[in-house]
Structure 1
Amino acid sequence: MSLDDLNDDVQESYADVGDELSVALDRETRNELALLESALEPEATDELVRRAIHMLFQTTVESGKLDFQLRSGYDVTYDEYLSGMTYDEMTGADQYPSMDDERRYQF
């Protein structure tokens, strides 16, 4: 997979999520959400879910887990995704022809 594949998958997922998202909660998650809502008193429960997603995203980026998953699945990093080009494209390493070991030393 590649950077283009990742961009396509992100756009597809973004479209699938839409504006509304219904999530089934298990008993433990519902209890934790209720406790957080009582303690933090947000204007709406949706605000807690948004905060949770932001925290999970930030933690995943900072720990390197996102880069690991992206490298495993798409052979890119988060920085490459943000810039829209791979490191090879940034440094020009993909512009040189490949070495042909059999013909390398022939004159």
Structure 2
Amino acid sequence: MSLDDLTDDVQTAYSSLDEEFSVSLDRETRNELAMLGTAFDTDDPEEIVRRAIHMLFQTTVETGNLDFHLRSAYDVTYDEYLSGMTFEEMTGADQFPQRDDERRYQF
């Protein structure tokens, strides 16, 4: 897969997300959400969920876990996705022809 495939998949996933969606909660998650809502002094559990998604995303980026999964599935990193160019395109490495090591020293 490639950078174009990743961009297409992100756009498809984004468009499939509704502005609102419901999530079923188990007992442990309800308890944790209640604790966080109380600690952050908010009556809006959706605010806690938004914060949790931001935190998960930030942690995933900072630890390199996102790059690991993107490299495994799409052969690109998050930085390459943000720039819209692969590392090879940024450095110009894809502009040079491949060396033929077998014929390298032949005249």
Same fold (TM over 0.5): yes
The one-character-per-residue Cα deviations of 1:75-94 (angstroms, maximum 9, x if unpaired) are 11111011000000000000
Counterpart contact for 2:37–2:43, Cα < 8 Å: no
TM-score by length of 1: 0.91
Do residues 9 (structure 1) and 9 (structure 2) align? yes
Name the Cα RMSD after superposition: 1.4
- Which residue of structure 2 lines up, in the alignment, with residue 54 of structure 1? 54
Counterpart contact for 2:2–2:74, Cα < 8 Å: yes
Separation in 2 of the partners of 1:43 and 1:96? 59
- Which residue of structure 2 lines up, in the alignment, with residue 79 of structure 1? 79
Q: Which moved more, 1:25-34 or 1:35-44?
A: 35-44
Separation in 2 of the partners of 1:89 and 1:34? 48
Identical-residue share of aligned pairs (%): 72
Supply the AA of the counterpart residue of 1:18: D
Q: Which moved more, 1:40-49 or 1:96-105?
A: 96-105
Report how many aligned residue pairs link the two structures. 107
Separation in 1 of the partners of 2:42 and 2:11? 30
**1:102 Cα shift?**
4.1
The one-character-per-residue Cα deviations of 1:33-83 (angstroms, maximum 9, x if unpaired) are 011112212252111111000110111111111111111111111110110
- Which residue of structure 1 lines up, in the alignment, with residue 67 of structure 2? 67
- Where do 5+ consecutive residues of structure 2 fail to align? none
Separation in 2 of the partners of 1:67 and 1:28? 30
Separation in 2 of the partners of 1:59 and 1:11? 22
- Structure 1 segments of 4 or more deviating over 6 A? none
